Amino acid sequence: MTTVAATSAGTTEGDAAATDAATTDAAEVFDQLRRHLSAKLALTGSFAGRGAVEAAAEGAGVTLSDGRRVLDFGSYAVTLLGHRHPEVVAAVHRQLDTMPTATRSLANPVAARAAGLLAAHLGGTLPKVHFGLNGSDAVEVAVKLARLATGRDKVLAVRGGFHGKSLGALALTHSPLYRVGLRGCAVEVAHLDPDDPQAFAREAAAGPVAALVFEPVQGENGAVPLPPDVLRSWCAAAVAHGAMVIADEIQCGLGRCGPPSVALAEGLPVDGVLLGKPLGGGVVPLSALVCSERLYAPLDADPFLHSATFGGHPLSCAALPPALAVMERQAGHGLALTALLADGLDALRARHPATVREVRGRGLLRGLDLDTPARAGAMVLELSALGLLVSPCLGRPTTIRLLPPLVTTEAELAEGLGILDAALTAVAGR
């Protein structure tokens, strides 16, 4: 079990978190889960928390209903700034006290300012922004616009990629695991071999392509960086073919893997970058497509072509300016954490060669690949019991995903690595 005394955001977990934890009835929570949501969710949650539920959180720490505090290196990349970063919370509070929702008839200054800041944060080469609430929202609008802007239907994605579970985004997601029982999806998609530089050219020769969509670092597939030379070859072929190039950085962007955009930092000629997860500062849901005039052209012609009641919601957009500011300010600390994390994971692989097959990833998105799916599953539970939350990879069940927040202290990172070491020792003996 870990004790989180303070975070780099300058806050301390105190009496309020302890009070919240003490008043949370875990048995009632699990009963409600079983009755109204999912019995399997209740079961997995009970195993993960050893009968306790999450009750409060701050920084890299989560307080459970039984009073324990655990480190959160999971949360599927949402908490890049940790939990309840004070600058983000304060901005959302201010918006809540003035105008928490939008009329949808009048122009909203909060969304307008957020769009300008986000375009500038990515360097200004992609001037247009469309806001959603989650990653699938961003994927759906990007594919829809690419097909309309080009007048073509076919979209190329990548083997191992994950782009969401709504029907359109699901067509791009590679694993058939998420399509069991479904007869098909509305988008015509082919998946490219990530080791084949000529794959796009061959698909384009067979017929017109609307867009190429890829994750520079595949998250759900076990923190797999795609080969830069392959991406350059694909992108060059896409530009020559007149297809849109869209980088899905919903998990790997905004500093998680170093730069605000991995694709732009690599000099790839992208028409759109998809962002989400930590975009709302880990406090509110927010996603975005940041794109070129060419990709955005159908929405320029008809702004109601694609809309959502809560797209550009003021509470979510209010979180964006302080979130981006903290990401920029913490960039140097992120580089230092990255070096420590890489060294620590390499040392663990050397200490446990029979259990750890490979360490993958970039920046603060890492995958620890174990010898069997059963061992990886046992590892997730062992880590939780010892005080470290991680994210499993459904698409690659041998891999444990590590996503430490950008505000993690060096002491917390060392503690997390120590827990990993202890858990590897424990599961190796089973």
Domain around 24 = 15-85+331-428
Q: Are residues 51 and 100 in the same domain?
A: no
**Separation CA 190–CA 78 (nearest Å):** 29
Q: Which two tokens stand for residue 204?
A: 């384009």
User: How far, CA to CA in Å, does 234 sit from each of 72, 141, 192, 239?
Assistant: 36, 22, 10, 9
pTM of the entire structure?
0.90
pLDDT class for 419, splitting at 50, 70, 90? Answer: very high
Question: Position of tokens 């991680």?
Answer: 390
Boundary-marking domain end, from 284, 304, 329: 329
pLDDT in tens, 330-377: 999 999 999 999 999 999 999 999 999 999 999 999 999 999 999 999
Boundary-marking domain end, from 329, 354, 372: 329
Q: Are residues 199 and 348 in the same domain?
A: no
Looking at residue 167, its pLDDT comes to 61
pLDDT class for 4, splitting at 50, 70, 90? Answer: very low
Residue 407 has pLDDT above 50, yes or no: yes
pLDDT in tens, 22-64: 567 999 999 999 999 999 989 989 888 999 999 999 999 999 9
Q: Are residues 339 and 277 in the same domain?
A: no
Q: Are residues 309 and 336 in the same domain?
A: no
Residue 174 has pLDDT above 90, yes or no: no
Lateral strand order in the sheet of 391-392: 356-362, 365-370, 399-402, 391-392
Mean pLDDT, rounded, for 247-264: 98
| Residue 281 near residue 323 (C-beta atoms within 8 A) | yes
Radius of gyration of the chain (CA): 21
- Count of structural domains within the chain: 2
